[in-house]
Homo-oligomer: A and B are copies of this chain.
């Protein structure tokens, strides 16, 4: 039962979806592949590198071509594609956000967004800030969403105290993204009032 790097990533994705990130251990993944845990270190330097590869796989599997439209519409589409890609796998948002945070993977959405924004009228430095703002929002929101999902399925999390996160998530994300883009539009048009 010899495996390639890609087999390991693909199986890790299945384990992630079935058991969640907390139970995606090197030992369990090894067992799932019919292999000793130590064998995984032939393919990846450590668990963090494995997870970065999983993050990139999540993103590439969920990749969509940008619509043939203005940059604002493209930015919106890019954000929604990222969200959908993450939500397609259990704990997908957390995996992508963590890999991004450690600078080990998940760069594609950032690059795409910066490209879209600079393709518009947006200055390079502002584009970088806006891209980060959007990514933090979309990923943070998707994480909230997925955590609630598992909090609902398990009886976990503190009972009592009304959950302030109960919401229509799709509408919420659209509003949040539009808010940032509206702010950007105002700023690009020179409407900014605070110097």
Question: Per a CB cutoff under 8 Å, which of B102, B128, B179, B181 touches A129?
Answer: B179
Q: Is A101 an interface residue (CB 8 A)?
A: yes
A94 → B minimal CB distance (Å): 9
Interface of A (DSSP majority class)? helix
Question: B102, A176: Cβ atoms under 8 Å?
Answer: no
Q: List 27 A-B contacts (CB under 8 A).
A: A102-B157, A103-B157, A107-B164, A126-B175, A128-B164, A129-B175, A129-B179, A130-B176, A132-B140, A132-B144, A132-B176, A133-B137, A133-B180, A136-B136, A136-B139, A137-B140, A179-B180, A179-B184, A181-B183, A182-B183, A182-B186, A182-B187, A183-B184, A183-B186, A185-B186, A186-B186, A186-B191
A53 → B minimal CB distance (Å): 13
Given contact pairs A101-B144, A165-B103, A129 touches B182 in the complex (Cβ within 8 A)? no
Q: Is A153 an interface residue (CB 8 A)?
A: no
Known: A133-B137, A186-B186. 18 other contacts (CB 8 A): A97-B140, A101-B143, A101-B147, A103-B147, A103-B151, A104-B157, A110-B164, A128-B164, A130-B179, A132-B172, A133-B179, A135-B140, A136-B139, A139-B140, A180-B183, A182-B187, A183-B183, A183-B184
Which residues of chain B are near A185, meaning CB under 8 Å?
A: 186
Question: Per a CB cutoff under 8 Å, which of B103, B144, B182 touches A192?
Answer: B182
Q: Mark A159-195, 1 if CB is under 8 A from B, else 0.
A: 0000111010000100110111111111100011010
